[in-house]
Structure 1
Amino acid sequence: MNPSPSLPAGENALAQITVSSRIPDFWKESPRLWFAQFEAVVANQKLADESRYNLVIAKLSREHVEQVSDIVLTHPDTKKYEALKTRLLVVYEESEVRQVQKLLKELELGDQKPSQLLRRMRDLAKKKFNDETLNMLWMGHLPSAVQAILTVSEVKDLEKLAGMADKVVETTRFAEIQELSCMRSSAVPSSSATQATLVEQIAQLTRRLDNMETSRSRGRSVGRNGWKSHRSASRSRDRSERVRRGDPNWMCFYHFRYKGKANKCIQPCAWQKQQESEAGKN
């Protein structure tokens, strides 16, 4: 196929650059789908075989080019694009056996919509299974609640069932999220509430420690003062008892404490008599 005769060489090159920017890098997981998109993009450009070949080469990574190295190094004189496409499909497209195996054993709904799962299963089935069989396989991957609703439905068209399943799953997942959110809200306090609780607990512990320290200080003070008071009271009681019994050696508080330096005296105090007796002895 030759380039459009109405476009000069420079404009044709510019058109190829524009087209190339619209083509994604090669998808090794879905090579046939990638080529379908590629051919749809270049369909209106009326590009020559070699131009298509060059565009595909530009979208291949090193890994992909290594799989077609013989075509790149010694490419055929004609149908270069077809040779490149055929090789890439042979290398990267899964065999029919592998596709059927994946369809029957490996697919799961996961986070997909049921309609997305159905499209993936159709792609793998490639018309090897009729809609009735595909419907049975597809419903086997859906939650039991969704299966129950679809089973009693009068809708038989598989695409319409897939749309219905999307709505049911969406509603179910939303309800589960709401329930989980309520459970977490009731079971776990918010971060601000938790912080406030911790602050209050710390304040309570601080007050308790302060009260304990104050009580200890008062206890020590009362103990010391109490001991002194008790001692003083004992002495006072002793002196009073001695006075009551008429002890001739009893001395008043002032002479008892300050001896000869006392400036006062309370009778009957034996201090003066004791001093006179000692002076007579001398």
Structure 2
Amino acid sequence: MSLANPNQQNNSVTAAVAVKLPDFWKSDPTMWFAQAEAQFALAGVVQDETKYYHIISKIDQSIISHVSDLVQNPPKEEKYKQVKERLISRFEVSPQAKLEQLLNACDLGDMRPSHLLARMQELGSGLKISESVMRVLFVQRMPERVKPILSICDGNSLEQLAQMADKMVEISSPAVASASTLPGLGLEELQEQIATLTAEVRRLKTSSPRSRSSSRVRQTGTPADTVCWYHRKYGRNARQCREPCAFNVPKN
């Protein structure tokens, strides 16, 4: 009776612990297998059968039907290779589909520009797209406020261009968001809003009805926080009024 080599047993246990693959990526099988092979290399997994079982263990029910014959009747040789080739052929996006996504369905959205570039380069891999064409496609997908600056940066690489775009989008976004909250407001309207907020703060702070005030509105006996900005500022001389306004205009 022959005993198994203790070193071989230890190596098998170590490999089983060290290799922790994520679930199979249907959207990018080639990169998933690249990661699997990197883990196999780090863990010292070289046996074809061991690789095969690691892969099969990470295939869920919706995918395993595509390799059911290889699972039920494993080939005697090259088990791992055959499973790999089958899964890649079934789930890898075709070059035509990648090109269509690159041209029509690859937008910035809420991504950072550098992340968008990485996604575009991934889709463009194997399509023989030149850097100049990729640069044009990348700039086209940038916000309007960023495009003019990137368009004149001819001496920068695509990666440098994406880093610049990251900084510009990060810096300009808060200002743009703040400006977009006040669409179409003129100077008088802004002043009115500020005056209303100021009056509200004053009302909350003041507990005595005898607080100091020199406004013409107070002289009429009407609370300042119930009149519009025009009557608050000009009193009876106001030529405009914005409702709701409780200012009492004396009748002739």
Displaced runs of 4 or more, over 3 A: 177-183
C-alpha RMSD of the superposition: 2.8
Conserved? CA contact 1:150–1:161, under 8 Å: yes
Bigger fraction of residues in helix: 1
What TM-score results when the alignment is normalised by the length of structure 2? 0.67
1:205 maps to none
- Structure 1 residue 151: deviation in Å? 1.3
1:39 maps to 37
Residues in 2 aligned to 1:62 and 1:135: alpha-carbon distance in whole angstroms:
41
Q: Deviations over 1:160-194 (max 9, x none)?
A: 001001111111212223445788xx69x99xx8x
1:28 maps to 26
Deviates more, 1:151-160 or 1:97-106: 151-160
Higher Rg of the two aligned structures = 1
1:16 lines up with 2:15 in the alignment: yes
- Structure 1 residue 89: deviation in Å? 0.4
1:134 lines up with 2:129 in the alignment: no
Residues in 2 aligned to 1:69 and 1:28: alpha-carbon distance in whole angstroms:
16
Task: Give unpaired runs (5+ residues) of structure 2.
Answer: 184-192, 205-252
- Structure 1 residue 124: deviation in Å? 0.8
Residues in 2 aligned to 1:65 and 1:154: alpha-carbon distance in whole angstroms:
49
Aligned ranges 1:1-282 → 2 under 5 Å: 7-9=7-9, 11-20=10-19, 22-47=20-45, 48-127=47-126, 128-179=128-179
Residues in 2 aligned to 1:141 and 1:180: alpha-carbon distance in whole angstroms:
21
What TM-score results when the alignment is normalised by the length of structure 1? 0.60
Residues in 1 aligned to 2:139 and 2:67: alpha-carbon distance in whole angstroms:
41
Residues in 1 aligned to 2:6 and 2:97: alpha-carbon distance in whole angstroms:
47
Conserved? CA contact 2:15–2:44, under 8 Å: no
- Structure 1 residue 114: deviation in Å? 0.9
Residues in 2 aligned to 1:6 and 1:157: alpha-carbon distance in whole angstroms:
54
Structure 1 residue matching 2:7: 3-state secondary structure: coil
Residues in 1 aligned to 2:6 and 2:123: alpha-carbon distance in whole angstroms:
42
Residues in 1 aligned to 2:82 and 2:59: alpha-carbon distance in whole angstroms:
15
Q: Deviations over 1:93-133 (max 9, x none)?
A: 11111111111111110000111111111111114201001
Residues in 1 aligned to 2:115 and 2:125: alpha-carbon distance in whole angstroms:
16
Conserved? CA contact 2:139–2:151, under 8 Å: no
The amino acid that maps onto 1:174 is: P
Residues in 2 aligned to 1:143 and 1:36: alpha-carbon distance in whole angstroms:
34
- Structure 1 residue 155: deviation in Å? 3.3
- In 2 relative to 1, CA 124–6 (structure 1 residues): closer, same or farther, beyond 3 Å? farther
The amino acid that maps onto 1:63 is: S
- Structure 1 residue 30: deviation in Å? 1.1
- Structure 1 residue 41: deviation in Å? 1.1
Conserved? CA contact 1:146–1:168, under 8 Å: yes
Structure 2 residue matching 1:7: 3-state secondary structure: helix
The amino acid that maps onto 1:153 is: C
Residues in 2 aligned to 1:163 and 1:147: alpha-carbon distance in whole angstroms:
14
